[in-house]
Amino acid sequence: MQFKAAIVAVLTAAGILLATVQSACGAEKLISVGTGAITGVYYPLGGAICRLVNAGRRDHGHRCMVESTGGSVYNINAVMSGELDLGFAQSDAQYTALKGMGPFKDKPQLRLRALFSVYPELFTVVARQDANIKSIADLKGKRVNIGDPGSATRATTELVLNAYGIKPQELKLAAEIKSAELASALCENRIDAFAVIVGHPNANVQEATNTCASNIAAVAGPVIDQMIKDHPFFGKASMPGRMYKGTNQAQATFGVFATVVASADLPEPTAYLATKAVFDNFEELKLLHPAVANITKESMLVGNTVPFHPGAIRYFRELGLMK
């Protein structure tokens, strides 16, 4: 009986404490942000954004909370159903959602809205120096890792090769090596090059360029320009020089963008304050994760293929970034 009484006392105390906390937080409105896997980039960046929002919670009365999720497609669906307020999504997922393509073919998300882009995920080709691969055209007849089936890297690599008129059978080898083994495969001369679409700095690219004589191939020119024009979810981008061994100059390329999206039903003031919290603390944001160290305010408006949320538009006009 004494044991049961003790349990009741503890539970009662816990209930009182919970009620007190709920009462104290009752005036706050929650902003939930869907990200990705805890080990990925979206999750810590979501935490960084929430940190900036929460710094002003006493003034605006909102509390931001990050959630680990399945990524872009899940986040878009959850945002549109009202399960989440904001979500990270690649710009190509924005596009397919709006157009009713791929995983959204049964239900186009016409009320999906963008707040801003966060960082570019760049198409990058790393090659052995002795393979003499300086551009995409040089991949013909070489051993190239093209990415896992169904991956963003695979889809983009096939698109690029097709744009250059290179058929898969015209590669000496179209490899499907796991991401963790890319650098070792290159440096052990099992492949001549590998393609990835990633945020930078990237561990695989870093390991390859530090371990063996390798270079990053140029991804630019009229063919790439036309491909970007034909696929509006792509955007031109640049990899800063000196990021990797042997890359002294900035490297022109293209990529998709990691973006933050919301439903058109998200209240305008909520979208406004979230956007304002990020841009008003822009320099602090750049210090919170290497993936955003080289972004600009202007680049955060690039790559979105759905309309901007009215709350974001209001802030961008105040800042002079949008007319």
Residue 236 zone, left/alpha/beta (φ > 0; ψ -120 to 50; rest): beta
State the Cα–Cα distance between residues 131 and 138, nearest whole angstrom: 9
CB 205 within 8 A of CB 216: yes
- State the amino acid at position 255 in one-letter form: G
2-118+258-319 shares its CATH topology with 121-256:
yes
Q: What's the DSSP call for residue 240?
A: P
Average pLDDT over every residue of 79-101: 94
Q: What is residue 109's predicted lDDT score, i.e. its pLDDT?
A: 97
Q: According to the model, what pLDDT value does residue 27 have?
A: 67
Radius of gyration in angstroms for the set of CA atoms belonging to the chain, rounded to a whole number? 23
Superfamily of domain 121-256: Periplasmic binding protein-like II (3.40.190.10)
Q: Please count the other Cβ atoms lying within 10 Å of the Cβ belonging to residue 171.
A: 19
Higher pLDDT, 111 or 293: 111
Supply the pLDDT for residue 240: 84
Structure tokens at 263: 């439903």
Please check whether residue 129 is in contact with residue 215, taking contact to mean a CB–CB distance below 8 angstroms: yes
User: What percent of the chain has pLDDT above 90?
Assistant: 68
Q: Residue 11's Cα: distance from chain center in Å?
A: 43
pLDDT above 50 for 315: yes
State yes or no: pLDDT of 4 exceeds 60: no
- Tens digit of pLDDT for each residue in 14-71? 343 333 334 344 568 999 999 988 877 899 999 999 999 999 999 999 999 999 998 8
* Bridge partners for 308 per DSSP: 114
- The model's confidence at residue 123, banded by pLDDT at 50, 70 and 90, is very high
Residue 204's nearest CA partner among 195, 288, 213, 135 is 195
Cβ 312 vs Cβ 271: under 8 Å: yes
Centre a 10 Å sphere on the Cβ of residue 201 and count the other Cβ atoms it contains.
15
pTM as predicted:
0.72
Residue 150: pLDDT band (50, 70, 90) is low
What is the Cα–Cα distance from 229 to 88, expressed in whole angstroms?
24
User: How many secondary structure helices (H) and strands (E) does the chain include?
Assistant: 12, 10
Distance of alpha carbon 65 from the chain centroid:
18
Neighbours of 59 (CB within 10 A): 8
What pLDDT does 285 receive?
A: 95
Domain 2-118+258-319 has CATH 1.10.287.1080: no
Average pLDDT over residues 172-195: 95
Residue 205: predicted pLDDT: 93
Can you give the pLDDT at residue 23? 37
Q: What pLDDT sits at residue 212?
A: 97
Q: CA of 99: how far to CAs of 13, 76, 200, 270, in Å? A: 53, 13, 29, 26
For the chain, the structural domain boundaries read: 2-118+258-319, 121-256
pLDDT at 16: 35
Q: Report the chain's mean pLDDT, rounded to a whole number.
A: 89
Contact of 48 with 282, CB cutoff 8 Å: no
Q: Which helix (H) or strand (E) holds 145?
A: strand 143-145
Residue 2 has pLDDT above 50, yes or no: no
Tally of CB atoms within 10 A around 38: 9
Q: Token pair of 135, please?
A: 């551009």
Q: Is 227 exposed, middle or buried (0-12, 13-18, 19+ CB in 10 A)?
A: middle
With CA atoms as reference, report the closest residue to 118 among 243, 249, 290, 264: 290
Least trusted range by pLDDT, from 202-206, 234-238, 270-274, 294-298: 234-238
The three-class DSSP label of residue 217 is coil
